[in-house]
Amino acid sequence: MKRLLVFFQITLCFFVFVFLITATANLVAQDDTAVPPPSGLLTSNGIWIETGLPLPVFRLSAPQVTGDGSVRLAANFSALNGSSAEPDSYLGRSRFTVLNEATNSVLEQYGATGGFYAFNPTEAFGETPRGPIDSTLAQRAACLFLKNNQMFPDNTIIGTPNVFSCDYDFSANPYNFTLINASSQGATSGSAKNPTTDVIGAIVQVPMFVKTGNFSQTPQVPLGGAGGHISLLFRTTNLQDTGFSLDDSVVGLGAVAMPFYGRSATFIDNFPTRDPATARDAVIARVQESFPGASNINVPDPALLYMVNDAAQPQTGLEPMLSFSGIEVTTGGETIILRDIVEPALEGGSGGFGPDVAITSPADGSSFTPGNPVNLTGTISAGAAPYTYTWSLNDGAVVLTGTLGAPGNLNATANDLQVDSHDGYPANVAVLLQVEDSNGAVRQAAINLIPTVAPSAYLPIVPNGTAALFSRHVTSAPAAVTAVYRFGVEAGSDYPPYGAGGPDLGGVIPDASGFRSSMLAYGWSSSFNWWNASAWERDWRDCSLGGGDCTYGVDRVDFAYYAGHGGAGGLSLPSSTDSSWFPGSNARFQTLRWVGFASCQTLRAQWPTPSSAPIRQWFNAFQGAHMLLGFNSNMADVAFGPRLVDNMRMPSFLGITFPWAQRTIREAWVQTAFNMNAGKPAYIYAIGTNSVNPADNKLPFSGDPALARPYPVASYHWVWWDE
């Protein structure tokens, strides 16, 4: 009996225990405050971010770069071995260029970072097919070349897939593989509607990542940005090919971009992550404000990346960022693709990472009288002092630079703000305050100022109508005739509501202003510089269609550059004057020779049906125009413009020019996209019935002979990189 009683007591205790456990679990489940659900988001690149959990920040260091060191680096490429290095500077930092005229090959290494680019532009960016391109062979060749030359990063913080061997299953594409295509089509009515297309090359990109698992619970986070990649361009993988290669050990290698080469990273500290869902909601709200009439807005989840600057730009801090890519907005029946929006992934303010920056005076949207000084006041708080700051304008002019030893106010005076007249209306002026703290965190704020008056300007009167327009055509030019080459810039760094929360596209400011200042330095004249509310759709629309391109618009210059949002076959302007959407079908360029579109998908060529690819909407633009340059894919928000001009210019060292090393305009565009990981480039040009072929156009000096025009059009030709 006693044993039975003991058994009963034990059994009763067990059931009471189970009851209590169950009841407690139910109470916890019903009490939301007891165990709050995690706040976080699964990023588009498959990383779970939980609010408040730490992510590390690093300090980047660059090696000392010398001419002898650049020559030793170039020795890894047989096409450059034995060459000497020519010194110059770029962005105030040293650069060494190794030139080999016998092989038409170049290596550029930058003192700002140690990163380099090696290339043969004629071979790398040629349009004639050289043979088959096999994904597996290209990836294996890339791996072996980098491994054998010890070019993989070798430290405990920055990594790539297995660097000890190249025994991957390359059919599974452990690297990123992209085909390059060339298409052509006749212009006459009897020509086939479907273009012919050839594969002319491929890009192999090796993923790079930060080994965050050594410092946090997140195993690894990819590198991104203009400097966070290793890219190799192949023209063929045919092992029997005996054509040019940068190195004899690998077939068909035309270009290599290693902007991260030589850099090292050291751990600073961990900082809490911000709520990624809140960051995404803020981006959605910003897009909704910019496009209030949109019928659909799609903001994909962001990717978590450590963003790296390109090789020419020094960088001391490496922090995780949220990159919102592929944002789509449908408005007026058109789908607009926004340039990438990048937001900090870490909490700011006290206990967070990075300074808080604001412009407190004058207020955004204030008026000013041209010729009178404008007093500027900003504030810096949080972050790590001391701070380095720069006040600048959207035309690239620097108002003031300096340092601040502790959080506080910043004062500057802007004198003689340059004001452009846009069809009699004053163009807004953007003021930017950029701050970098001692941990390398960069933050910025911006306002728009409105001039009270516009400067007077002579506007040539050109009557609308086909006859008047066609009378302007120049189909040839004798060599003795010279041209005063002119350019113009239109940019959308800030979409409505202007100024709220700072620039929408921070990269557009150094992109467009850098293009402008670089072209001025090359000797070209600026005809317009229109930003934000002053960038109009009618500037691009032909006069015969009710636009103003031939009077006050873009068809008055030789080279126009646009930076902002775009879409398949058109531009999304930051002003709603007349319309905010410009379709390429409304372009009829006659004076304008070259156009650069630093925007998403404006030259979209990848399409289910080749005969309806949006890039073909630009055919009518070739009424004397030479070439349009843009992107088949989305575009990163990077400072593309100044790098483009640097790649187009005539190389000069110690006062000696090297004409053979000057790249064509199309080569420079594609190479800039390749070097900066900016997106998948595209360009289109026309060949005239007069046999004028602009494929080999190089950027002239102002005063050089006027170039003949490819008109009437005999055929259209375009090149694009697959997504």
Average pLDDT over residues 534-560: 94
Q: Given a cut of 80, is residue 614 above it in pLDDT?
A: yes
Ranges 194-198, 228-232, 415-419, 546-550: which has the least confidence: 415-419
Q: Does domain 354-457 have CATH number 3.40.50.720?
A: no
- 195: tokens are 């273009």
Quote the CA–CA distance of 488 and 457 in Å, as a whole number: 15
Q: Kind of pairing, strands 317-318 and 54-61?
A: antiparallel
Amino acid 13: pLDDT: 42
Quote the CA–CA distance of 57 and 53 in Å, as a whole number: 13
Q: Given a cut of 60, is residue 467 above it in pLDDT?
A: no
The DSSP output letter for 12 is: H
**How many Å from the N-terminal Cα to the C-terminal Cα in the chain?**
81
- With a pLDDT cut of 70, the percent of the chain lying above it is 89
- 697: tokens are 């156009």
Average pLDDT over residues 108-120: 97
The alpha helices in 31-126, defined as continuous H runs, are: 67-74, 121-124
CB-hemisphere CA count at 13 Å for 687?
Answer: 13
**Amino acid identity, position 241:** D
Neighbouring residues of 517: CB distance < 8 A, sequence distance ≥ 6: 395, 396, 642
Quote the CA–CA distance of 360 and 376 in Å, as a whole number: 8
Whether residue 540 contacts residue 587, with contact meaning beta carbons closer than 8 Å, is answered with yes
User: How is 281-339 classified by DSSP, letter by letter?
Assistant: HHHHHHHHHH-TT-SEEE-PPPEEEEE---TTS---EE-EEEEE---EEEETTEEEEPP
Amino acid 501: pLDDT: 55
* Residue entry with tokens 């054998």: 148
Whether residue 194 contacts residue 213, with contact meaning beta carbons closer than 8 Å, is answered with no
Give the 3-state secondary structure of residue 432.
strand
Whether residue 639 contacts residue 607, with contact meaning beta carbons closer than 8 Å, is answered with no
Q: What sign does the CA torsion over 472, 477, 483, 485 have?
A: positive
pTM for this structure?
0.90
Quote the CA–CA distance of 183 and 28 in Å, as a whole number: 64
Q: Given a cut of 90, is residue 215 above it in pLDDT?
A: yes
Whether residue 488 contacts residue 560, with contact meaning beta carbons closer than 8 Å, is answered with yes
Amino acid 460: pLDDT: 39
Whether residue 107 contacts residue 65, with contact meaning beta carbons closer than 8 Å, is answered with no
* Residue entry with tokens 């902002």: 564
191: pLDDT confidence band, cut at 50, 70 and 90? low
Quote the CA–CA distance of 450 and 498 in Å, as a whole number: 11
Class of domain 483-721: alpha beta
Amino acid 534: pLDDT: 87
Amino acid 161: pLDDT: 86
Q: What sign does the CA torsion over 379, 382, 385, 387 have?
A: negative
Angle between helices 508-521 and 640-648 (to 10 degrees): 30
State pLDDT tens for residues 499-519: 655 557 778 889 999 999 999
Neighbouring residues of 17: CB distance < 8 A, sequence distance ≥ 6: none
Q: Given a cut of 50, is residue 137 above it in pLDDT?
A: yes
- 30: tokens are 């019903």
Neighbouring residues of 191: CB distance < 8 A, sequence distance ≥ 6: 185, 715
Q: Given a cut of 50, is residue 658 above it in pLDDT?
A: yes
**Amino acid identity, position 103:** T
Backbone angles phi, psi at 441, to 5 degrees: -75, 130
The alpha helices in 596-686, defined as continuous H runs, are: 640-648, 665-676
Average pLDDT over residues 471-496: 68
Q: Given a cut of 60, is residue 20 above it in pLDDT?
A: no
664: pLDDT confidence band, cut at 50, 70 and 90? very high
Residue 346 Cα distances to 2, 22, 307, 559, 574, angstroms: 66, 39, 13, 40, 29
Q: What sign does the CA torsion over 251, 255, 260, 263 have?
A: positive
200: pLDDT confidence band, cut at 50, 70 and 90? very high
- 37: tokens are 């659900």
Residue 113 Cα distances to 102, 434, 536, 640, angstroms: 29, 21, 39, 18
Quote the CA–CA distance of 196 and 192 in Å, as a whole number: 9
Q: Given a cut of 60, is residue 553 above it in pLDDT?
A: yes
Q: What is the chain's mean pLDDT, rounded?
A: 88
Q: Is the peptide bond before 497 cis (omega within 30 degrees of 0)?
A: yes
456: pLDDT confidence band, cut at 50, 70 and 90? low
The alpha helices in 422-462, defined as continuous H runs, are: none
**Amino acid identity, position 102:** A
- Cα–chain center distance at 89: 22
Average pLDDT over residues 242-263: 96
Residue 668 Cα distances to 66, 231, 644, 645, 697, angstroms: 25, 16, 6, 8, 11
Residue 219 Cα distances to 49, 157, 319, 685, angstroms: 12, 11, 16, 47
Amino acid 459: pLDDT: 41
Q: Other C-beta atoms within 10 Å of 163: how many? A: 16
6: pLDDT confidence band, cut at 50, 70 and 90? very low
**Where exactly are the structural domains of the chain?**
354-457, 483-721
Q: Given a cut of 60, is residue 4 above it in pLDDT?
A: no
Residue 676 Cα distances to 255, 309, 648, angstroms: 13, 9, 15
Nearest residue to 445 (alpha-carbon basis) of 504, 497, 386: 504
